[in-house]
Amino acid sequence: MENVIEVNGLKKTFGSHTAIKNVTLHVKKGEIFGLLGPSGSGKTTTNKILTGELSPTSGEVKVLGMETSKFGSASFKSKIGILSDNSSLYERLTVYDNLKLFCKLYGVPVSQIDVLLKEVNLQDDGSRIVSKLSKGMKQRVLLAKALIHKPELVFLDEPTSALDPGNMTHIHRGLQRLNEAGTTIFLTTHNMEEATELCDRVAFLHKGELQEVDSPVALRHKYSTGAFHVETHDGDQMVIRNKPENANQIQELIATNQIKSMHSDHPTLGQIFLKVTGKELV
């Protein structure tokens, strides 16, 4: 499958500090790819390099088949959408007028605004002044702004960090629909449930280096202890190792209808990150 992001041996230094050491990653067209890492691991720096805001110190970076020298071009900008902590709105204008400006900038019909406001659950808030909105509402307007020109590839840096659970679910469904319609999503998040739910593949970034790149399911399988957690109808809880000598015990529990619940011990992405890097993903 075609790669929309190709990074080989990327390095980025700020003075004597090396923020990105030797990162190689490839994102396929149509994927939701999650970049996960604790504060200071280099996620924002990677995002900024991929969107042309920063230049790499060394290494090869190609996005949508274009070299970094093309990242300032109108053609590149029309194909990517960005939601980052640098994204901003005109505070004194209404939500609708903000989006109207971006429609004009990209030559998009204003009819697109109502569609997008519904997608971000702000269908009744178009006439509100941006400065009066909550942080979570602004984040959703910024998401609408990032998507207004129907980009092929979107970079979303913590897109749901300010959202309540209801709106987070609404945005997750919207991002899944967007992805099903063909948009590739490069997602940066601290939220492990979000990454597990949304991402086809995730990469763990730690101190500027990638530790693991795989699907959440494959990672959880890889780091599974192979044990079963069993709860009986009597309220007993037990951990049974997945070994041949324990097969009889499990069979007997099943035959005597004692099992209330049983699930295999697959660690969460947060637990895997801790195991791989020795650091909490916070």
Ligand X SMILES: Nc1ncnc2c1ncn2[C@@H]1O[C@H](COP(=O)(O)OP(=O)(O)OP(=O)(O)O)[C@@H](O)[C@H]1O
Closer CB to ligand X, residue 44 or residue 112?
Answer: 44
Question: How far is C-alpha 221 from the chain's CA centre?
Answer: 20
Residues that bind ligand X (CB under 6 A): 14, 17, 19, 37, 39-45
CB of 280 to ligand X, least distance (A): 13
Closer CB to ligand X, residue 36 or residue 120?
Answer: 36
The DSSP code for 34 is E
Are 43 and 87 a contacting pair, CB within 8 Å? no
Closer CB to ligand X, residue 45 or residue 183?
Answer: 45
CB of 150 to ligand X, least distance (A): 27
- Distance (Å) of CA 199 to CA 109, 188, 216, 262: 31, 10, 7, 26
Q: Are strands 58-63 and 66-67 parallel, antiparallel or unpaired?
A: antiparallel
Give the residue among 51, 26, 46, 28 at the shortest CA–CA distance from 36: 46
CB of 16 to ligand X, least distance (A): 10
CB of 135 to ligand X, least distance (A): 16
Closer CB to ligand X, residue 44 or residue 196?
Answer: 44
Report how far residue 221's alpha carbon sits from residue 6's, in angstroms, rounded to the nearest whole number.
27
CB of 100 to ligand X, least distance (A): 31
Report how far residue 87's alpha carbon sits from residue 152's, in angstroms, rounded to the nearest whole number.
19
Closer CB to ligand X, residue 121 or residue 189?
Answer: 189
